[in-house]
């Protein structure tokens, strides 16, 4: 299965790949999202290390059960060959109604078919009050006219 755009990346195709990943994650559908990763994909997500699509799907299922009203923005940081580095921020609330904003960086490595075979994520978060939220679009894909992370000063 091929997942364009394919490496080696140009600036334009790296930006496209980042936006496609953002769009996928904003669906909050683990079954759909895992198809962007190789069958043996290796992840480091915070302090959790997982291997393979099934483990990734389980991680994402747990994540989106506790991170309610999740909205994410990713932005290209750097790219070369089959690797892309992104920075991101997302907002969510927990089941008590407390809002959070998380910030982080991801390093991605792709196979020749454009599937991600390695994802290394470093993430920090902090509680915010609802009035400080910046991501207000309806659940799903971020509108094209919504500010990027740089526009928001993140």
pLDDT tens for each residue of 59-81? 999 999 999 999 999 999 999 99
Q: What are the E-state strand segments in the chain?
A: 37-45, 48-51, 68-80, 83-93, 99-110, 116-128
Provide CATH code, domain 11-134.
3.10.450.50
pTM of the predicted model, to two decimals? 0.97
Tokens of 51: 């291997």
pLDDT in tens, 136-147: 999 999 999 999
Domain boundaries, the chain: 11-134
pLDDT of residue 31: 97
Q: Is the pLDDT of residue 1 over 90?
A: no
CA dist 49 and 44 (Å) reads 5
Q: How far apart are CA 125 and CA 103, in angstroms?
A: 6
CA distance 74 to 103: 10
Task: Give the mean model confidence (pLDDT) for residues 95-110.
Answer: 98
**Burial (CB count <10 Å: 0-12, 13-18, 19+), residue 130:** exposed
């Amino acid at each position: 299965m091929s997942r364009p755009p394919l490496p080696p990346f140009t600036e334009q195709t790296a930006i496209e790949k980042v936006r496609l990943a953002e769009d996928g994650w904003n669906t909050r559908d683990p079954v759909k999202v895992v198809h962007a990763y190789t069958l043996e994909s290796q992840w480091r997500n915070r302090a959790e290390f997982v291997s393979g699509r099934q483990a990734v799907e389980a991680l994402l299922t747990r994540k989106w059960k506790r991170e309610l009203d999740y909205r994410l923005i990713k932005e290209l940081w750097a790219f070369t060959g089959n690797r892309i580095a992104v920075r991101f921020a997302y907002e969510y609330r927990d089941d008590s109604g407390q809002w959070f904003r998380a910030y982080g960086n991801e390093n991605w490595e792709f196979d020749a078919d454009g599937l991600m075979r390695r994802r290394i994520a470093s993430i920090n978060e902090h509680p915010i009050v609802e009035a400080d939220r910046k991501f207000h679009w309806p659940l799903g894909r971020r509108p094209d006219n919504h500010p990027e992370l740089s526009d928001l000063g993140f």
